[in-house]
Structure 1
Amino acid sequence: MNDQKRIVVKIGSGLLVGEESLAVRYAFLHGMMADIAALRAEGYEVVLTSSGAAAIGLGTLGLTPKDAGLADKQAAAACGQPLIMNAYKQVALEFGIDIAQILLTSEDMENRRRFLNTKNTLDRLLAKGMLPIINENDTITTEEIRVGDNDRLAAKVAQMIQAQHFVMLTGVEGLYDRDPDEPGAQFVEEVEDVSIYLEATTGKSTLGSGGMLTKMQAANMAQNAGVTAYIASGILDSPVSSVLKNERRHTRCIAQGDASSSWRVWLADRLTMAGSLVVSNEAAAQLGTGQRGIRADDIVAVQGEYAKGDVLHIYDEKGEECARGLTNYASNETVLLARRAGEAVESVLGYHSNADVIAARNLVPIEDRHLPREAPDDDVTSIAS
């Protein structure tokens, strides 16, 4: 367990970049850096996750968010990233802060080795007094593999470094129980169960790729790791510390999980779905005991093409998600083992390996606080066929 006081702050594109000008909003940047300097003086270690590179780059390319396709946005990110980091560098130096840049993709978070390498880098930068600034690597990501928003990326970073606080700054004060433009909409100050509010969180900003829905998903990921999440407007003066000190209105999502179990947290909260298994109802009912893994004869169907070491989503025969776990076998090997259940692994695959498709130690039951993923209905291989 980390003993340092750590904060992860996520800044949306709309706060950093003018919607019409597509230029850096230096007034906000100065207020943010002044607040970070004050928090660092109080003993906090701070990590920023920052959107905005693609938005600034669109202006360089003479494009607008409405007429830019995926290739345009990738090119814009390449143009905008040095510009936004230069802006950060200029303002940070005024407050005696040295910055470091880290660009990440979903694969960096989903692959265990890359995840640990990133964590080690962040820990070293923080130990040396640097301010890490993280962004999704939009230049190389595609619609299929991108994280999709910096809210959930920031939540994964908060999990990774075992932060105490995760602050998402946006263009609104926080969460409402319905569309805030509807009559009678009520502001929500505190959230325990994120799932209650998912239907009220549609829509997203012009410049960003996320909205309140992704903020709720990100808050849930933080909660599950023992991190308190906050959603607040990005004001100019003390945008972060005023939230932590409860000096202005915001939505606070209460930490619920165990921050000390980083392995289980990494297994449970996924940015992408590599694949899934459908297991018998009998097997699903026993997964919560922690005493058994998933055997070949438990499997009813296999979905997707995945590799050994991927984390799979586990469903019962009713389509309800019951667990997530690290697979010992690729999808084609899993199908072979399931169709020849009862035979030794070596006789089926030609090499000796673990008898369990997913070992008990690498399996995490889905609890009420986790947001489940709907079972996929395509690319499914039935074991009975």
Structure 2
Amino acid sequence: MFDFIERIKDFNLRKEHTDMLIRAWKTENKKVYSDFVRRIEAVKKGDMSIITEMMDVAKNCVPEEVRVFHNWLGDVLNGKVKMADITQSIQGLSIEHIHMIAKCLVYKEQWMAIDMKTGEVKVTSKKVNGYLMVRSGTPIEIWNRMSVDKRVYIVSQTEALMKNSKGCWMFSNLERKMIYQAITFFARLIFLTYASATGHFLANLYDLVIERKDNLPYCMYYYVVFDHGLTKMAMLLNQFLLSENIDQGSMLMVKDCINALVLHSLDMGTETKASWEKTADKCGADIWKEVAFLLRSMKGRRGNKKQVMTIDDLIVGNKAEVKQCIMEFLETNTEDICLAYLLVVLVKTEHIKSSVKYMTFHRAIEQLTQRHYGYDVPQKRYGEMKEFNFKCSMQSASYKKAKKIIDRWTICFEECK
């Protein structure tokens, strides 16, 4: 796992590279992605196969020891493991961080902190910056923090089960409340074991995406980040509510899903408050109220932060001469892909810093020329050439043409002082 973490520890700095990789994949796999979108749309007709496959991706990334622990816990709750044998049987399990999970559940106001750079897991009494934080608590704390509608649902379902169980009707109110809290305790226990294994989960996902080139995670990434997939999923949930006979449990599930979709999309910057307001206006009253409440109670990030800079901000050296050369280059080389070669030349001649992101440069060129350029192809090509240290060593006709353009214009830009 730590080899994996070492490779992605600068993940935030490599966000643009990841986006380029996904865009390039989508350009080359349009049919695969179109089929994915078609299957997502088929969910409204009752075809849940794509949802099952996505769940399987997540399930297959869960570490084996966590799955074994959950199976054992299920056996305990179902009475397959005798109470006298629990201590002995748990010693045979290999669960990393189990003592920290126990500490979270025993002591009040505890947080599990996961360092995504090293995989370290620790327990703290307050939030720590730079860590993935998971709030825990004792069974009483967890129960008291729970929303009223969830508590009502747990009580109603538990009461229905106890009516059919011998002796349960004799339980006092205190004993019943202890049962309700025990249910929330086991739910939180399962959640914390998943949280503590986040590093291993991501390592397995990395292997699935990068090493085995599984198409489904690529489709999911593009759908969520570039294709407004989370608002589209909200529309599917709305259609589900309008077309099905929904019980209380299903309604709670839908509300939790909407909550996650809104919060995570705003946090990632893939959606804005305005886009969610527009989506909510197309939905029924239940989803509209849920979205409206969430938007009122939080600050949006106004979508992906675009670093808007002019070409003057980017150029190092004689700005007037460099801009004149840029305009001459664009008049001679009109294809969108040539923007990649232009940036390569500017970096090679040190007129633009190598740390400048492609899309920052792309937007600056559009602002300079007042013309729209396609970005998928040049962004992909620039990423490829950057990977080869800006050397066109490939023998294809396209790369020979690129080398010819780069060599010629490198001489021109070197003359700009």
Common fold by TM > 0.5? no
The structure whose Rg is larger is 2
TM-score normalised by the chain length of structure 1: 0.29
Q: Which has the higher strand share?
A: 1
TM-score normalised by the chain length of structure 2: 0.27
Q: Which has the higher helix share?
A: 2
